[in-house]
Every structure is written in structure tokens, then in C-alpha cells.
Structure 1
């Protein structure tokens, strides 16, 4: 597929990406904790990668077999696309693979070995959730249906832990605190208690969608997100222990946001991008699970939200960030693609 990295300003594929009012955000738009957040000693670096053939946002993003898969989402004027774009870091090229059988947005992905699992999503713009689920075999380039979600929803945070897939939060008609586990071996779902935890000062700890989630040292970290709309964003940082089946709370993410992505690399959790009312964030913050401290690292070159893959695509020590929206809402999708490393 042709390299789209050198798209011109006139190319509609890159609409909005060259507007300086979009590709930078005004000083002071972040909503930091009262504590001062220091710059990290190692700020890391961003690198521009080959741009996507089809500009996309609110899609599923996952790493599988050393490649980055971007599936579904908003694209080419539609909010329920079935595109399946794959980036190979070894060649710097994009290819198109078998489309997902059910076109939608805000679908949630997890990978185990050579297989990618897709759960739920919306068929309209951030609404009308469905319960359809599928598995993609990267070796055969084929999709198969798996059992539906027990309850339809989109914007779920999906992570793999010990061979099972945890499905956390999301939105049905409103944000939910549901926590269920899908077992690929038995093809069955197990319902767990909700995500609220036992801390009385966090009454809505679990009712979240559009949040980041990542596994570190056998525990699931759920960071940020929103309750119903981005007018009710949070920096909440909750942790699930699968041994005790309990939730606890850690230091909140400094920039309060939703629609962001998280990744775990070089011993740090990264949280970057996202949106609030009228704002799209370039902020990139790292959390050290040992010191329980947040630090500021190199900001995104192009602020974006709708990167959806609650967990970003990590290959080796590199975080790949394709697509997303450079303005709030769903009117513009981005073909921009860059990567982050700590160097």
C-alpha cells in the first residue's frame, strides 16, 4: 500500500492535522493535581511514523505478532467502519487485512498469541451499544464469531491477564461499573463484583468508560476516564488484585481526562492524549508503580483523543500511536502516526 506519510495540506485524508489551532493546545488547559508534577529525568522522544492509509479514530488498537492492528472506528465520514489496517514496524508499511465482520466504533481489543479478540462497541456515534464479539487469527487472516457479551456496551477497557480477558467498565446507556472475565478456552464469561472498591470517598470509582487500563506485575491499573460525558472526567487511578479480588486506589493521574491511552514500557505506565470539553490533550505523563509518583514526559507532537485501545500498541520498548482525533468529538479523524520511546 502506498506510503501516505507525505500527504499534502490539501489532501482531505489529513483534514485538520495542519491547523495550528489544533496541533497545539493553549497553555494551562490541563487540570493538574495540587501537587507539583516534576519533569522526568528521561523525557523520552517521539518519532513520526508512516501515516495511516485511512484516517481513523475511536477504533480498536492492539499489537499482535510484532505488528500494530487498527480495527473499525470512525473513518471516511462513517462512524461504523470495518477497516482493518496493519502496520509493520520492520518495513514501515501499512497493509489492509480482513475487515471485522461487524462494523462499529469504540470496540475493545485484547491479544493472546496470534489471536485478537474484539468485544462490543457502538454502531452510532458513541451510542447504540452492541454485544457482538469476534476473534481474529493473524496466521490465517480470518475472523470468527465468539459468544456475545452478557450485556451490550462500548468503550470497554479490555486487558489480558493470565490467559483470560478482563472487561472493565464501558458505557451502555450510561457509564457502568461492570467487571467480567472472558475465558478463551471455555468461551464463557464470568461476572465479578463491580469496580467500586470499598473506599467510601470514591462513590463512583467504577462507573467509568473511555479509561485507560494496563497490567503491571499481575495487577490491573485503571486510569482516568469519564462518568457519562467528558464534563465528568476523572484522574482516578484504581488497581485490581486478581488474587484477593479487591480494588485499591493509587495516586491520581495529574491531567484529568478521558479518551486517552495508556501503555506500560520501561517500568513506567504512560498516559497520553485524551479530551475534555473543548480540549484535546498533548500531555504525556508517566507513573512509577514502585515510587507511586507521576512525572511529565515528552508531550505528543499532535494532541489527539479517540486512540481507543485502552492499552496502546507496545512492541518491544516502543509505543505506537496511530490515528485519533485532533479536535473534540467525531467530526475529524487523523491519519497521523507516531511512536514514543524512552531512548
Structure 2
């Protein structure tokens, strides 16, 4: 009995000691957890500040401008009464492709083109805008010409192109009656280029062929100058490698006066998608890019595959000395502007285009400005905004009105990436 009682007493003491130990352990654990939470909070605060500072420093070093959240007073009276405010999500804008400050222009929407067009070509002769070929989509290309009449503001007069003629990335030039159509891509997706050249007599809508280029080219800079058809740059047969070649052919009244092309002084920088303008007996080559999409190896449909591209705003000029001169560059790098220009009051006006790619996701960025190059001072101005950002516009000017049609527009005001191929036609009154 004594042993039993002693055992029970010892058991009660042991149980009491064990309970006390458990309580102490629980309290100790709670204290440790609390201390850990406090330490974690302090570290998180420090880490957050550090990451924020480091991120901002990294963005500054990479040329990306961080646009902070902007608070906007909401028009909703109930939210205003509750003190609630809406915010615009943070956006990351590169100083290269950010929209440039520009005045608003009043744009009027005109009758749309009969079909949507991307990478088409155009030539204006008096009050008529001749619009050639182009992609309807990556899998479909046009093989006809549409005509817009600036006097009646109507489309009409469709006719077919030669079956052997390129369907996109064409070089075009005119003497006021004959339109010369040079090389370009034959077929959809990223198929190969052609060296074929055709000339259109706009009075009877008949086509003739001219001696082919020495080598096929995509989107070469093309112009008539001093009785010769000049073809420069563009991309070589693989669609990506820039060409520096410069060839010319003597022509008159839609006929070639020579059997072979003559080699001229190479252009300082090669590549496609440039504006090429002759004015005041000077030849200008503006903007462009090095590199382009290529056909995916082994693809039976020549599916387009992305490659590295460099967009630039370089401006080069040839005059009577026949030496290339470097002029002030465009306000921002700009490409896909081969038919986006018009001549207005001793200046060159360019609508839209593409600029350097997004520095993070490498997506193409469209241009939404209208640029003016003053031929007297050889300086640039940004004179207005387009209704939206758009590339490969086909531009014209008539009776004080600046027109543009076709191309590929952006995804919206806050997304400058390309999306929809359009057939829109717009105009605005220019006072330069």
C-alpha cells in the first residue's frame, strides 16, 4: 500500500512536471514564432525597398522609363463619396518607342479600300492613287490594282497584275504616266523574292516587262532620277540579309534604253522598308531596317519565322556629286514607310511606320506620328498624330488634304503592337 501510494505520488509529480514543461515549450515556441514574424516583417520591408530601388536602377540602366500609377478621380458619385479612386495600371515604356509629343489633327474617315492590305504599294498620279498587291492575310496575297479618285473620293477601276509579278515588298516609281514595279516577294507567308520588273501604262492599263534585276530583292528603295530607274538596298534572297547594292537602268516612256543594269555607288546602309524620294534634283533614302522575318526551315508553306531586326532613322542623299551624304536622322527610328510619304510645300511628310522593338518582349512597335522633313533646312518636325498607330500606310496628297489607307494598325491606345490588317481611308487638312 505504501509503495502504491508512493508510486501514485511520484506519478502525480511527474505528470505535473511534464505539464509544466509543455507549457514552457509552448510559450517558448510562441515567442520564437513571434520573433520570427517580426524579423520577417523587418526583412520584407527592407527587401521590398531594396528590390524597388534595384529595379528602378535596372530600368534606368536599360533605358526603360517606369510610368507610376496615376490616380484618376472617378465620375461615379457614390465612389467619390466613399473616397474611392480608380488607378491606371503601371506601364513600362521605352524612351525609343514611346509616342512623341505631337499636336492632334482632325481626321475624317473616307470610303475604305475594297480589300485590306499589308505591305502593298502605291503611286499617286495627279488625282488618282494606284494601290498594288499586298497581303490580305499571311496566307493570302492580292494580285490586282485598285484606284482611288481624290476628286470624287471613290474607289474603282480594278484590274489585274501580271501573273509573274511580285505580290508584296515591291519597289515602285513613276514618271507621271508609266509606273515601274520592281521585284518583291512572290506569294504569301515568307516565300522567295523575284527579280522581275514590269511597267504599267496608266492610260491603257497595259503591262510590259523590263530587264530583270541582277539579283532578286525584297522591298528595295526605288526611284526614277535623271532618266534612270534606281534600285537600292532591300533584303537579299534569304529575306533577312541587308543588300547594299545599287543598280540603275536608263528608261524612257515605259521602255528600257539598255539591256543590262549598271552598277552604281553602293548605299551606305542596306535593308528594306525605306522611303525613297526624288525632289529638287536630289534623291533621298529615309529610315528602314536591317533584317526581317525568314521562312522557317523545312516549312512546306514557307511559314514566317521571327529574326532579329534593327530599325533605324538614317537619312541619306545623292545629288549632282553622286556621293552619299548623311543627313539628320528621323525623330525616332522608323521602318515600313516605303509608300507612306508625300511631298508638300518643299517638305517630305511621312505617316506612321514601325520603330525599335519592345526591349523586354521584343514585339514590334508601331508608330502613330506624322513627320515633316524640311528640304530647305534639312531638319525634322513632328507635326501631328494619326488616328492610331499603323505601319505600311499608302499615302497621298490632294487639294490640301493628306490621305492614307491600308496597313496594319495597333491593338489600341495603350498597346502599340500590330494586330488588324485594315482597309480604312482617312484624310486631314494640312497647313504647312
Query: TM-score, normalization: structure 1?
Result: 0.79
1:188-227 matches, within 5 Å, as: 188=258, 189-196=261-268, 206-227=269-290
Residues 268-292 of structure 1 show CA distances to partners (whole Å, capped at 9, x for unaligned) of 2222211143311102121212223
Of 136-145 and 75-84, more deviation after overlay is shown by 75-84
Structure-1 residue corresponding to 2:130 = 69
Change (3 A) 1:319 1:326: same
Structure-2 residue corresponding to 1:134 = 198
Match of 1:157 among 221, 236, 249: 221
Match of 1:118 among 181, 189, 196: 181
Match of 2:354 among 275, 284, 296: 275
Match of 1:237 among 315, 328, 341: 315
Residue 414 of structure 2 is aligned to residue 324 of structure 1: no
- Structure 2 segments unaligned to the other structure (5+ residues): 1-90, 293-307, 358-363, 411-415
Match of 2:332 among 244, 248, 255: 255
Structure-2 residue corresponding to 1:100 = 161
Of 245-254 and 265-274, more deviation after overlay is shown by 265-274
Structure-1 residue corresponding to 2:86 = none
- Structure 1 segments unaligned to the other structure (5+ residues): 1-25, 197-205
Residue 125 of structure 1 and its aligned partner are, at CA, apart by: 3.4
SS in 2 for 1:256: coil
Structure-1 residue corresponding to 2:421 = 333
| Distance in 1 (alpha carbons) for counterparts of 2:159 and 2:179 | 12
Q: Does structure 2 retain, via aligned residues, the 8 Å contact 1:72–1:104?
A: yes
Query: TM-score, normalization: structure 2?
Result: 0.63
Larger radius of gyration: 2
Residue 329 of structure 1 and its aligned partner are, at CA, apart by: 9.1
Residue 249 of structure 2 is aligned to residue 170 of structure 1: no
Q: Which has the higher helix share?
A: 2
| Distance in 2 (alpha carbons) for counterparts of 1:264 and 1:44 | 18
Q: Does structure 2 retain, via aligned residues, the 8 Å contact 1:147–1:187?
A: no
Match of 2:207 among 143, 153, 156: 143
| Distance in 2 (alpha carbons) for counterparts of 1:318 and 1:215 | 21
Residue 331 of structure 1 and its aligned partner are, at CA, apart by: 6.8
Residue 66 of structure 1 and its aligned partner are, at CA, apart by: 2.2
Q: Which has the higher contact order (CA 8 A, sep 6+)?
A: 1
Structure-1 residue corresponding to 2:96 = 31
Residue 247 of structure 2 is aligned to residue 180 of structure 1: yes
Change (3 A) 1:46 1:330: closer
| Distance in 1 (alpha carbons) for counterparts of 2:325 and 2:193 | 29
Residue 121 of structure 1 and its aligned partner are, at CA, apart by: 0.5
Q: Does structure 1 retain, via aligned residues, the 8 Å contact 2:222–2:229?
A: yes
